[in-house]
């Protein structure tokens, strides 16, 4: 197993990409520390990991809250004695025209998407530097590279995450710590559906994906998790500051 004896911290682990990445890391032998504001979802991910024979600790945490992040990382380090992998998936999306986007909307996306990534790295990186090894994988988006209607601020946060990843990668690699990011396209997760339950509206969204995306469908959480596992593993030992785009060809157009 690729992650045997590794200790991994995963944010956004209650659902979607974060949950799938955690389950897959655990299946590869990693001990997982799960962070999310959704305690119920965290428990479900933890249960899934443990039922498959893996090991996980759940920690309800708002990644935009510095004190909460500091305490969570301290807990993870105390439980595992080390942190080998950090996967930053926690994020929110508000779909509005820029002129309809409130300062509150802006602050929420910036504080969680960029701020949460900054805070977890700020507290994990010194531990990884001290141990002389580690891998950080941030989850940005295809929309870091292209504009999109009604997602101006969201795309800005994802672009910032890519830039943050590149710069921190240069700071970290002399200490044996690699920092990279995955950039998924439209993925079959709750953030894509935004709570939409009407079958006709969901069908229209899928029709739009079929037109926009060369692959003709949504990306799966397993496809994104494959990229996360690669970048977090020793197989990516020479990959530093990279953005792995998993978008079915959208940004190739």
Residue 98 carries which DSSP code? G
Which segments within the chain are labelled E, that is strand? 7-11, 31-36, 55-60, 85-88, 134-139, 177-184, 243-246
CB of 34 closer than 8 Å to CB of 58: yes
Whether 154 sits among the annotated catalytic residues: the reply is yes
User: Positive or negative, the Cα torsion across 22, 216, 235, 167?
Assistant: negative
Count other Cβ atoms within 10 Å, centred on residue 52: 10
Beta bridge partners of 8: 32, 85
72 within 8 A of 12, measured Cβ to Cβ = no
Pairing of strands 134-139, 7-11: unpaired
Active-site annotation, residues: 154
């Amino acid at each position: 197993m690729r992650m045997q004896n590794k200790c991994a911290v995963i944010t956004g682990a209650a659902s979607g990409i974060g949950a799938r990445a955690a389950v897959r890391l655990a299946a590869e032998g990693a001990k997982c520390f799960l962070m999310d504001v959704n305690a119920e979802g965290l428990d479900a991910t933890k249960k899934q990991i443990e039922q498959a024979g893996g090991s996980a600790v759940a920690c309800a945490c708002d990644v935009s809250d510095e004190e909460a992040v500091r305490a969570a990382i301290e807990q993870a380090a105390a439980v595992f004695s080390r942190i080998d992998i950090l996967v930053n998936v926690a994020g929110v999306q508000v779909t509005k025209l820029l002129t309809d986007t409130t300062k509150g909307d802006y602050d929420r996306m910036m504080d969680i998407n960029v701020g949460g990534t900054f805070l977890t790295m700020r507290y994990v990186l010194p531990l990884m530097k001290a141990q002389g090894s580690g891998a950080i994988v941030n989850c940005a988006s295809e929309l870091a590279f292209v504009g999109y209607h009604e997602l101006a601020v969201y795309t800005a946060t994802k672009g910032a995450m890519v830039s943050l990843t590149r710069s921190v990668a240069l700071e970290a690699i002399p200490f044996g710590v690699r920092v990279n990011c995955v950039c998924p396209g439209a993925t079959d997760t709750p953030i894509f559906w935004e709570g939409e339950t009407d079958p006709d509206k969901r069908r229209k969204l899928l029709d739009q994906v079929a037109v926009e995306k060369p692959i003709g469908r949504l990306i799966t959480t397993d496809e994104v998790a494959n990229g996360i596992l690669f970048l977090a593993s020793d197989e990516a030992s020479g990959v530093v500051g990279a953005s792995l785009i998993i978008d079915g060809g959208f940004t190739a157009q």
